Structure 1
Amino acid sequence: MTSSSTPRPAHAGGHTPGRPPLRRLTARGRDEAHRVASPLELFFDLCFVVAVAQAGLQLVHAVAEHHAGEGILNYAMVFFAIWWAWMNFTWFASAYDNDDVLYRVVTLVQIAGVLVLAAGVSRAFDEHDFVTVWLGYLIMRLAMVAQWLRAARSATGAERTTAVRYAVGVLICQVGWLGLVLLPEPARPWLFLVMVIAELCVPVLAERGFETTWHPHHIAERYGLFTIIVLGETIAAATVAVQSGVAENDALGELLPIAAGGLLIVFSAWWIYFVVPIAGRLRSNRQAFLWGYGHYVIFAAAAAIGAGLEVAVEQAVGKAHISTLSASAAVTLPTALYLLAVWALHSRHFKVGIAQQTVLPVTALLVICCTFLGDWAVLAAGVVTALAVVTGETLTARRAARGRGAKASTSAL
């Protein structure tokens, strides 16, 4: 976790007496020491979670009202806008954050954009009106264009070309996203798929010939912090749902298994994500892009777990008129998806042997099987994920002990 008191390098840190408030936006070093998240980045994350919470809330309403398919599609579209804007800023900041006045102001404009987007989430779900969501996204992306053009002004050669490519690519994509407002409703999912591909291609094409100097440890920390914040939002959403259920229906007996299972799932989700140090694997753009893009699934699934817990609570107290099976699936499916995504992006690179490699995939399968356990499904899923943590730690400890034993035997010889 970062601290506002952590010293930052003199060339890119906070304002110091006698230094100009506006400075050249030059690239930072990839091997820079003490590279941690800044207070502005933490503030940025907290504001983005407001939009995540709105998307999760609307997903709850859609699933509870028998519109799960439509709700999931809208959730995927809105969450992509939130995640992609967050991700683009994160990688840009890792390479170019100089923390001067103009940089801070443009970042605050991006925060304003995500708050506009958050304000339009309910209309996007309820009325299929994406105007406000599109406007908020546009504000965020135009601010990002301004940052890239500023970086281009301070750069030369291949670095300048990369910055200009980013700015042009982002602008072109904004024209395409206008179709969400202008095209008829049946065409929007197809446009969404096309535009997702276009957006994902911008960094790949822009960094041909020159890789921006993002910092691997800073990037790993930024993603970890956002994971913590999203899991925290999941806890908050589930707590409010349980509190409401107890206050309005006096159904503590029905809600305790859901609350206990939900806590076990979220605690295990945190443990599984942070059990391995991933920064050392982010050595090239190819590795980093695949890892960074894959976090769409991790973030979206983590937020959806909270929405699922709310659905389970509403079903238990009779506020959501759906089956117990559907309510259970709202928790178990995103949990299984989260486990598989963390395994694919993190864990499999650090596991040795078939036993360690299969812990999370098998756990994901068992969590899905828990869906059919009726009122005990969420608690069972929580116990299964907690057992996965215990199993993983046990296998790691045993392998480490065998390694120390073999080393001692070799030394004795």
Structure 2
Amino acid sequence: MTSSSASESAPPPDRSRPGPLRRMTARGRDEAHRVATPLELFFDLCFVVAIAQAGAELMHFMAEGHAGEGILNYVMIFFAIWWAWMNFTWFASAYDNDDALFRVVTLVQIAGVLVLAAGVSRAFENHVFLAVWLGYVIMRLALITQWLRAARSAEGAERTMALRYAVGVLVCQVGWLGLLVLPESGRAWVFLVMAPLEMCVPLFAERNYVTSWHAHHISERFGLFTIIVLGESVSAATVAVKTGVDEHDALGHLLPIAVGGLLIVFAAWWIYFAVPIHGFLRSNRQSFLWGYGHYLIFSSAAAIGAGLEVAVEQAVGKAHISALAASAAVTLPTALYLLTVWILHARHFKVGITQQLVLPVTALLVILCTFLGEWAVLVAGILAALAVAFGVILTTRGSAPRGRGTAAAV
């Protein structure tokens, strides 16, 4: 692909300038000490509200034996949450000027995700998407405003790129009206059409100009959101275990689930952050595939928490499903997480077939744990922890190339 890009030596915006408005010019790719801002952290925290709602509804559907319908709804709702977060994150990495208007528009986007979160239950249970669509509209119109500001401060190919983003987002938002006007049988088709179109907007917009996203900043933003999602899984599992212990005095049945769940989450954190991935993000082609793949990382990490809640509900006799189904609610998203992190992160830093096989083999063994009944979660957690330990042993033996540090630890 032939394209011009933002200058990598472009100076950062003048944040000392007084007044509520600054020109929304591109930030430099080589800007030093670029880290997540307090506003970005607040933005992520508010998104967790919507993720928690989606996870809770997924848990209820699986516990009632409606896993297929619950997963379909979860895939659709989580896409809306993830894609809105993605759009803001990449835009802010290139154009965050931290003026008053940028902050206000970002807070409007936060309000939109809270509206979306309020509609998650009705979308799951009654397939009524009005609140979800309205929250999405608020977020998307705010994003369009940001791109128009960037276009106003730019010229040439950069201005064309920003306008393409604004138009593409607006057209897609109109397409999502199908969720409101079409009969229920056609709404899944709306998602199957609109989701790929949404992901094509960046490809269309950046054909001739590449935004100046900051690789280290982007990798940090994705890492922080991964931590928040994993933390939500710990919180969900803790509440579930506490409820089970208080009401049923079933500590003997719940302890293996609690220990196994913690081992899974701890290993998930270790495996993700063992790799210094920012050095790999050198082009749009690499970054698009990496960023889009995080839909599976985020959604599977959140689903692990929902699965742990299902396993607890089944153990105390509240869930109307078999032990096999309850185990699968934990093992399948865990295996998906392990495989996706290997594909997007770890495989680029592995040396030799032994290191390359650690995560794929662990994922396969975790799936087989599904058939172990009430011990499935505990054994899956032990396997995940052993994968981390085995990776560390391989690294300390000096099998990793010089300069890659602990990247091959898993």
Can you list the C-alpha shifts for 1:48-98, whole angstroms capped at 9, x where unaligned? 010000000000000011110000000000000000000000000000000
Matched residue, 2:197 = 198
Greater displacement, 395-404 / 44-53: 395-404
Spell out the pairing of 1:243-282 with structure 2 (5 A cutoff). Answer: 243-282=242-281
Spell out the pairing of 1:66-215 with structure 2 (5 A cutoff). Answer: 66-215=65-214
8 A contact 1:265–1:335 mirrored in 2 = yes
* Superposed displacement of residue 402, structure 1: 9.8
Can you list the C-alpha shifts for 1:321-340, whole angstroms capped at 9, x where unaligned? 11000000000000000000
8 A contact 2:70–2:124 mirrored in 1 = yes
Spell out the pairing of 1:352-363 with structure 2 (5 A cutoff). Answer: 352-363=351-362
Matched residue, 1:331 = 330
8 A contact 2:351–2:401 mirrored in 1 = no
Shift in CA distance, 37/381, structure 1 to aligned 2, threshold 3 Å: same
Moved runs in structure 1, 4+ residues, more than 4 A?
400-404
Matched residue, 1:409 = none
8 A contact 2:11–2:31 mirrored in 1 = no
* Superposed displacement of residue 268, structure 1: 0.1
Matched residue, 1:319 = 318
Mapped to 1, the partners of 2:149 and 2:288 lie a distance apart of: 23
Matched residue, 1:372 = 371
Can you list the C-alpha shifts for 1:169-216, whole angstroms capped at 9, x where unaligned? 000001110001111111111110110110000000100110000000
TM-score (norm 2): 0.94
Mapped to 2, the partners of 1:376 and 1:152 lie a distance apart of: 57
One-letter amino acid of the counterpart of residue 259, structure 1: A
Q: Secondary structure at the match of 1:372?
A: helix
TM-score (norm 1): 0.94
- The answer to whether 1:305 aligns with 2:304 is yes
Shift in CA distance, 402/191, structure 1 to aligned 2, threshold 3 Å: closer
* Superposed displacement of residue 384, structure 1: 0.4
One-letter amino acid of the counterpart of residue 241, structure 1: A
Q: Secondary structure at the match of 2:213?
A: coil
Matched residue, 2:406 = none
* Superposed displacement of residue 12, structure 1: 3.6
Mapped to 2, the partners of 1:76 and 1:403 lie a distance apart of: 40
Mapped to 2, the partners of 1:244 and 1:102 lie a distance apart of: 44
One-letter amino acid of the counterpart of residue 110, structure 1: Q
Can you list the C-alpha shifts for 1:236-264, whole angstroms capped at 9, x where unaligned? 00000000000111111110000000000
Shift in CA distance, 289/10, structure 1 to aligned 2, threshold 3 Å: closer
Identity of aligned residues (%): 76
* Superposed displacement of residue 399, structure 1: 2.9
Mapped to 2, the partners of 1:169 and 1:396 lie a distance apart of: 46
Q: Secondary structure at the match of 1:399?
A: coil
Matched residue, 2:407 = none
Mapped to 2, the partners of 1:354 and 1:399 lie a distance apart of: 15
One-letter amino acid of the counterpart of residue 109, structure 2: Q
Alignment root-mean-square deviation, CA = 1.5
* Superposed displacement of residue 403, structure 1: 7.5
Can you list the C-alpha shifts for 1:108-149, whole angstroms capped at 9, x where unaligned? 000000000000000001101011101101110110000000
Shift in CA distance, 387/215, structure 1 to aligned 2, threshold 3 Å: same
* Superposed displacement of residue 374, structure 1: 0.6
Structure 2: gaps spanning 5 or more residues: 1-9, 404-410
One-letter amino acid of the counterpart of residue 195, structure 1: M
Mapped to 1, the partners of 2:47 and 2:249 lie a distance apart of: 34
Mapped to 2, the partners of 1:402 and 1:113 lie a distance apart of: 46
One-letter amino acid of the counterpart of residue 145, structure 2: A
8 A contact 1:13–1:99 mirrored in 2 = no
One-letter amino acid of the counterpart of residue 170, structure 2: L
Mapped to 2, the partners of 1:74 and 1:399 lie a distance apart of: 46
Q: Secondary structure at the match of 1:29?
A: coil
